[in-house]
Amino acid sequence: MKKIMLLLVLLSLTACQGQEKKKDNKNTAKTEAPAKGKFAVTKTDAEWKTQLTQQQYNVLRNKDTDRPYTGQYDNFFEKGMYVCAACGNPLFTSDTKFDSHCGWPSFDQAIKGSVIYKTDNSFGMERTEVMCAKCGGHLGHVFDDGPKATTGERFCTNSTSIKFIPAK
């Protein structure tokens, strides 16, 4: 069973790998992640554990990843806004969501100033991690294989890390 789970995790990571980001990519020129504890919302691990579900804690605080095609927002296209599940920071609008067929919710841009970026060299690949700018929660990764007609970016986002607020 452990071998199957490990295989599923490795497959999910490579499925969301996308194209490798170049060092001079426009995302890395944007706001880089500050040192731990330098966010507007800062809590202890114990406080996060009481506020978040176990899955939310694993994804948002420990940089885990939802299994592909299992998240509640993967095939969800209602009008509204997506906010950080940990702190409520507005992250994406439904107008920027698209179906990338990668198994995770995908957006072609984040709300300006809502996210920060960090180089992620885990699992033997270089990717750009996307984090909530308000609390530092792990949201997912951004790749340059999104819709060319808009930004060309694909914010591959964990459903667990976001909450949907319907338009009024």
Residue 34 in contact with residue 135, Cβ under 8 Å?
A: no
Active site residue 156: yes
Query: 27 and 117 in contact (C-beta within 8 Å)?
Result: yes
Walk across the sheet containing 162-166 and list its strands.
90-93, 80-84, 162-166
CA distance 101 to 99: 6
Report yes or no: 26 and 110 within 8 Å, Cβ to Cβ. Answer: no
What is the end-to-end Cα distance of the chain in Å, rounded? 45
- Which among 102, 132, 135, 156 is annotated as catalytic? 156
CB 134 within 8 A of CB 87: yes
Write out the catalytic residue numbers.
Answer: 156
